[in-house]
Amino acid sequence: MVKKILVLGGGIGGIAVANILADKLKESADITLIDRKKYFQFPPSYPWLMIGKRKPEQVQKELTILSKKGINVINEDIISIDTSGKKVRTETSEYSGDYMVISLGAQYNIAAIPGFSDYAHHIYDLDSAIAFRDLVKNFKHGTIAIGISRLPFKCPAAPYETAFLLDDYFTKEGVRAEINIEFFTPEPLPVPSVGPDVGNRVLELLRSRNINYHPKLKLAEITDKELIFDNQETLNYDLLFAVPPHEAPKPVADAGLTDVTGWIPANGKNMETKIPGVYAIGDVASIQTPHGYVPYLSKAGVFAHAQAEVVANNIANLVLGKSQAKEWDGEGGCFMETSIGEGTFMKGEFYAQPKPRIDYHEPGKVWHMQKVVFEKYWMRHWF
């Protein structure tokens, strides 16, 4: 009997898992990928789009292209998930599988912060990134506040990258002297998941660029001119960039899959959930890192990809009756652009003991070029 595999979500984790399975299993499996979006979109390129260095069509690809590899691509909203039966319901149909990979990422709960929907902007989805790009283009003087509203959020370096790129963009536009940049965050130091040494280097970089850093501030409310934090401190702004509060997608929470973290607990070695044959990868998963600098693994595309490789390999072996199983090593690296054409690279072994082993590379053109290669790989390799 041909085995059926359901892949929920066609983002970074979902397209990798579906592609690898299609490649390994060919006619031995029936692979269905469901996403509400018609397009695969590549968020690591949004900071470039924000400063006019990418066009929307350069950072997305039609998901139906995957049909030529034998993947059934369903463009619908998933309404509910029944994990024990490995079934999902969409607006019009029901799909079932022998294996299920949940790679639905995070949804944004902007209603959690009064004023967010009226006054805050961000680059955490493509439409918002396009809208913010247009505001940036017309911003010539005043205070831009850039910050993180809630933890956890995807890509710990992205808001810092946003600040560095905007600083350089405004400098090159000849208006930086007229613009004040304020950065707020609930974190005690930048990118805490990679430890205080790297955090302090990023902090130095912020200082050297005249970006004022306000740590340990939790955003409570936004008015038309002011940010109000939990401790009653306030910050004035003219243009506001704020990472929206993240949460697990509704069908995931409704299915009772989440724990106290609000995300799906998964085995950090093979990504299996408490239900055998049901896996959670990428941003939707929560993986404890008891030896880490932070208690849970960060949300990042490189992790979603690496986990997809392990899960796809293991499902393929189960389908083919092979006993070998891979284990994920908890390793991954992340680029952070520090100016237009330059960046840093930080790489970690996050399961290492007694502490994660972290490599930090000083800003250079080479890391910018590597990020371009990373982008090209994602926009071409799977399609």
**Which residues are near ligand FAD by CB under 6 A?**
9-14, 34-37, 43-44, 46-47, 77-78, 103-105, 123-124, 154-155, 158, 249, 251, 282-284, 299-302, 304, 334-335
Within 13 A of 272's CA, how many CA atoms are on the CB side? 12
Strand ordering across the sheet containing 72-75: 72-75, 29-35, 3-8, 99-102, 278-280
Nearest-approach distance from CB 335 to ligand FAD, in angstroms: 5
Q: Cα torsion at 174, 180, 183, 188 (round to 10°)?
A: 120
Backbone angles phi, psi at 88, to 5 degrees: -130, 150
Nearest-approach distance from CB 345 to ligand FAD, in angstroms: 10
Spatial contact of 209 and 102, defined as CB atoms under 8 Å apart: no
Q: Which is nearer to ligand FAD, 201 or 368 (CB)?
A: 368
Tracing tokens 């189960």 back to the chain, one arrives at: 318
Q: Which is nearer to ligand FAD, 192 or 249 (CB)?
A: 249
Nearest-approach distance from CB 251 to ligand FAD, in angstroms: 5
Q: Which is nearer to ligand FAD, 206 or 302 (CB)?
A: 302
Nearest-approach distance from CB 118 to ligand FAD, in angstroms: 21
Cα 125 to Cα 2, 91, 133: the distances in Å are: 37, 23, 12
Q: Going by C-beta distance under 8 Å and a sequence separation of 6 or more, which residues neighbour residue 34?
A: 6, 7, 8, 9, 10, 74, 76, 78, 88, 90, 95
Nearest-approach distance from CB 168 to ligand FAD, in angstroms: 17
Q: In sequence order, what DSSP letters do the residues of 185-207 get, joined into one string?
A: -SSSSSSGGGHHHHHHHHHHHHH
Nearest-approach distance from CB 225 to ligand FAD, in angstroms: 26
Give the residue nearest to ligand FAD (CB). Answer: 11
Q: Which is nearer to ligand FAD, 179 or 297 (CB)?
A: 297
Q: Which is nearer to ligand FAD, 126 or 227 (CB)?
A: 126
Nearest-approach distance from CB 110 to ligand FAD, in angstroms: 14
* Cα distance between residue 272 and residue 284, in whole Å: 13
Nearest CA-CA partner of 356 in 292, 306, 298: 292
Spatial contact of 270 and 263, defined as CB atoms under 8 Å apart: no
Q: Which is nearer to ligand FAD, 45 or 229 (CB)?
A: 45
* Cα distance between residue 31 and residue 308, in whole Å: 14
Nearest-approach distance from CB 165 to ligand FAD, in angstroms: 11
* Cα distance between residue 162 and residue 150, in whole Å: 17
Q: Which is nearer to ligand FAD, 257 or 302 (CB)?
A: 302
Rg (CA), the chain: 21
Spatial contact of 125 and 154, defined as CB atoms under 8 Å apart: no
Nearest-approach distance from CB 212 to ligand FAD, in angstroms: 22
Nearest-approach distance from CB 274 to ligand FAD, in angstroms: 19
* Cα distance between residue 148 and residue 298, in whole Å: 14
Q: Which is nearer to ligand FAD, 54 or 299 (CB)?
A: 299
Cis upstream peptide for 354 (omega within 30°):
yes
Q: Which is nearer to ligand FAD, 73 or 300 (CB)?
A: 300
Q: Which is nearer to ligand FAD, 286 or 314 (CB)?
A: 286
